[in-house]
Amino acid sequence: MIIMKVKTNIILLAVKPAAYRGLYIALCAMLHPDVFEQSQELLVDELSRCSLLGLKLYNFLPGSSLGSITTEQCVEKNSSSH
C-alpha cells in the first residue's frame, strides 16, 4: 500500500529520486552472527523496496563493528558478504 502511494506521488509530482540512503541500524560489519544476519536481512529488504520504487542507486552504510575488527576487516567482511 505505502509503496504504491509513494510511486504514485513520484509520478504525480514528477520527482526524479536520485538515491536511497541506507539505515544506520544495519550493522553489516558486526562479528556477532545474530546481529550480522539481521543486518543482512534488513539490507535485502531495503534493496527490495528500492527496486519496487524504481530507485536505481543505494547509498550503503556499512555500519559499525563497535571496535571488534579493524577497518580493513570491516571492508573485507562487507565486500565478501552475500
Task: Name residue 58's beta-bridge partners.
Answer: 20
Asked if pLDDT for residue 17 goes beyond 70, the answer is no
Percentages (nearest 5) of helix, strand, coil residues in the chain:
50, 5, 45
Distance CA 39, CA 77 (A): 13
Per-residue pLDDT tens digits for 19-72? 777 776 777 777 788 888 888 888 888 888 888 888 888 887 777 677 778 888
Phi, psi of 58 (to 5 degrees): -135, 125
Distance CA 71, CA 62 (A): 11
Q: In the prediction, which pLDDT does 78 show? A: 77
Given a cut of 80, whether residue 79 has pLDDT beyond it is no
